[in-house]
Amino acid sequence: MTSPPIRVLVVDDHVLLRQGIAGILAPEPDIELVAEATNGAEAVETFVRMRPDVTLMDLQMPVLAGIEAIQRIRSGAPHARIIVLTTYPGDVQAVKALKAGASGYLLKSSLIDELLRAIRAVHGGRRYIPADVAQEIALHAAEEPLSAREVDILALVAAGKANKVVAHELSVSEQTVKAHLRTIFQKLGVNDRTQAVTTALRRGIITL
């Protein structure tokens, strides 16, 4: 007796990506695309209605972001199996997703075979994290994370704002901003603002 196909929900605000995934899953006899959603709020509602076996979830979406959608789904269905499908390879985003309850983390640039492997692995109760992402997580696991204020400052710096403007927008002194930046450089292992922004974007600490 053959097992029923793995029922998949795809959540992404880009129609071309949803169509691409539909095309990848269509030939697979053991996997069935049962629903699509275009944002996090719609994902939560669709999950409750359809109860898919595996959900593919984007992180950056309108209305409700992926992390919050994962948390809401898992609060109502603790055993929900969710794979994050994202353009962000950074360890910080991956750790946030896994802490929120994701079972897998996959880059949109992944090969077709890897996507199918991830769906089958997560459906089977295993976690799926690509080796390069897992290595990044392990590499930075013992480091002290940036505080919420430090992330705020770095995001404003990434937007091209000078220290004086950052200080004004956060209602702190310029000296306080400079002190925070020194701490940020130390935590990230960089020497200047440009390196800090580049590293933070690569790791998913901030997004543009």
Instruction: Tell me, yes or no, if the pTM score tops 0.75.
Output: yes
Domains defined along the chain, listed by start? 6-140 (3.40.50.2300), 148-203 (1.10.10.10)
In a 3-state reduction of DSSP, which class is residue 39? coil
Q: What is the separation of C-alpha 180 from the centre of its chain, rounded to a whole number of angstroms?
A: 26
Checking 28-33 for CB contacts under 8 A at 24+ apart, the result is: 28/116, 29/5, 30/3, 30/5, 30/6, 30/120, 31/5, 31/6, 31/116, 31/119, 31/120, 32/5, 32/6, 32/7, 32/8, 33/8
**pLDDT 10s per residue in the chain (208 long)?**
678 999 999 999 999 999 999 999 999 999 999 999 999 999 999 999 999 999 999 988 889 999 999 999 999 999 999 999 988 777 888 889 999 999 999 988 888 899 999 999 999 999 999 888 888 888 887 788 889 999 999 999 999 999 999 999 999 999 999 999 999 999 999 999 999 999 998 888 888 7
Question: What's the confidence (pLDDT) of residue 2?
Answer: 74
CA distance 165 to 56: 40
Structure tokens at 119: 């769906």
Confidence at residue 205, expressed as pLDDT on a 0 to 100 scale: 87
Q: For 83, phi and psi rounded to 5 degrees? A: -115, 125
SS3 (DSSP) at 55: strand
Q: Which position has the token pair 């360890």?
A: 91
